[in-house]
Amino acid sequence: MGNIKYTQKQIKELKANINVKNCTEKHIVFEKVFKFKVVKLSKEYIIPKEIFKKFWFPEYVINSRIPSLSVDRWKRNINKKWVIEETKWRKKSELIDFEKMDLKEQNEYLKTKIAYLEELKKLLDSDYP
């Protein structure tokens, strides 16, 4: 945060981490599942730097202010914004009617679903804490 600028090599390295959704020169966007796990671990009195180490982040992220500032922000927001978004998402997914889709939409829907399931399988097969 602040004046941090990531190099292209660092951006590529961060994007390779399964806990990072997106990364630019100035910002890192973390996966929602990761945020929930970090908040849960921090409630067990594990310090943010140790948590980020456990999730395979490089030293330049661990030694910055990102872990402590992010965890504090996620703790504040966990009961407000995320729970509402998750509920909205469930309602939208229930409205999907596969039978009413044309062939192109069905194909796109199935590709997205397969990609999502492959990501879940990777999480289950890895040494994910």
In this prediction, residue 67 carries a pLDDT of 95
Instruction: Tell me whether residue 128 is exposed, middle or buried, using C-beta atoms within 10 angstroms of its C-beta: 0 to 12, 13 to 18, 19 or more.
Output: middle
**Mean pLDDT of the 12-25 span:** 92
Look at residue 95 in the predicted model and tell me its pLDDT: 56
Question: Domain map of the chain by residue range?
Answer: 8-87, 96-129
CA–CA dist 24, 15 (Å, integer): 9
Predicted pLDDT of residue 48: 94
In this predicted structure, what is the pLDDT of residue 92?
44
Q: What is the mean pLDDT of the chain?
A: 82
Q: What b/e readout covers 21-49, taking b as 16+ CB neighbours within 10 angstroms?
A: eebeeeebebbeebbebbbebbeeeeebb
What is the C-alpha to C-alpha distance for residues 76 and 104, in angstroms, rounded to an integer? 42
pLDDT recorded at residue 51: 94
- Confidence tier at 6 by pLDDT (50, 70, 90): very high
Who has greater pLDDT, 47 or 99? 47
Residue 23: the pLDDT is 93
pLDDT digits (tens, 9 = 90+) for 61-113: 999 999 999 999 998 887 665 554 444 444 444 456 777 778 888 888 888 88
Output the pLDDT for position 117.
Answer: 84
